[in-house]
Amino acid sequence: MTDAQTPPVLILLGPPGAGKGTQARMLEEKFGLVQLSTGDLLRGAVAAGTEAGKAAKAVMEAGQLVSDEIVIAVLKDRLGDDDTRNGVILDGFPRTTAQAEALDGLLAASGQKINAAISLEVEDEAMVERISGRYTCAKCGEGYHDSFKTPAVDGTCDKCGSTEFKRRADDNAETVRSRLVAYHEQTAPLIDFYQGRGVLKEVPAMGAIEEIAGALNAIVGQAKT
């Protein structure tokens, strides 16, 4: 491992629909890493009843946003758990440079650091097509796409034979474009931040899942040596 056996810490950046979840699960299986998203962290801390979890619960029940300080405290507790000994992948945190700086401080206190901030690079209009074309079988949940994966028999699910399908309300071109604009505005400073620290890795993410996984495996493998 890196730096006297300290577990590597990786950040996965990419807009909604870029495949972060799929790739993170594959990295978990291959390298024994643990994917940590902000939502999962907060829910876990609330369920465990930690001090940070209690603070987060009070804020969320009041309908307010959880502060950076609370998120950092929750993350600190989580990084102390045994299952993170092989390293973690942070998904959705940090979102701002202030959070990135706070994260650096937290890791430095335990002798850790960000080993790589991996940005999944996608084409905006291709992402609009990819996401807005998605739909699922209303009965069994089998996934389909207007362009890339249609049922063998039009209007009938290949898996269960149902004729009912559904689309997520936010899987439309206008909403996807808005989410991409917001992502670029929020993430651009982070790209510069980690590029300045020499840990930014950019991975083209419009190809086959296996090709993207290969590029990620090479980066993570280097981070763990």
Q: Pairing between strand 34-37 and 88-91?
A: parallel
Tell me what the pLDDT averaged over the chain comes to. Answer: 91
Q: Pairing between strand 88-91 and 9-13?
A: parallel
pLDDT band, residue 6 (cuts 50/70/90)? confident
* Residue from 95, 113, 167, 177 carrying the catalytic annotation: 95
pLDDT of residue 44: 92
Cβ atoms within 10 A of the Cβ of 81, count?
A: 12
pLDDT of residue 162: 97
20 flagged as catalytic: yes
pLDDT of residue 61: 93
pLDDT at 69 over 80: yes
pLDDT of residue 175: 92
pLDDT of residue 225: 67
CA distance 94 to 101: 9
Which among 179, 183, 140, 184 is positioned nearest to 163, based on CA atoms? Answer: 140
* Residue from 43, 54, 113, 134 carrying the catalytic annotation: 134
pLDDT of residue 53: 94
CA distance 225 to 220: 9
Average the pLDDT over 196-212 and give the result.
93
- Residues 94-150 have pLDDT tens digits of 988 999 999 999 999 989 999 999 999 999 998 999 889 999 999 999 999 998 899
DSSP SS3 for 164: coil
168 flagged as catalytic: yes
First to last CA, the chain: 5
Residue 90 backbone dihedrals phi, psi, to 5 degrees: -90, 125
- Residues 147-195 have pLDDT tens digits of 889 999 999 999 999 999 999 988 899 999 998 998 888 888 999 999 9
* Residue from 25, 149, 168, 197 carrying the catalytic annotation: 168
CA distance 38 to 130: 25
Tell me the residue type at 202. Answer: E
pLDDT of residue 1: 42
95 flagged as catalytic: yes
Residue with tokens 């890795």, as numbered in its chain? 201
CA distance 217 to 111: 24
Helical spans, DSSP H, in the chain: 20-31, 38-48, 51-61, 68-79, 97-109, 124-132, 173-196, 209-223
pLDDT at 38 over 50: yes
pLDDT band, residue 2 (cuts 50/70/90)? very low
DSSP 82: G
Cβ atoms within 10 A of the Cβ of 176, count?
A: 22
pLDDT of residue 3: 45
- Torsion-angle region of residue 156: left (phi > 0), alpha (psi -120 to 50) or beta? beta
* Residue from 20, 57, 78, 130 carrying the catalytic annotation: 20
Residue 64 backbone dihedrals phi, psi, to 5 degrees: -110, 165
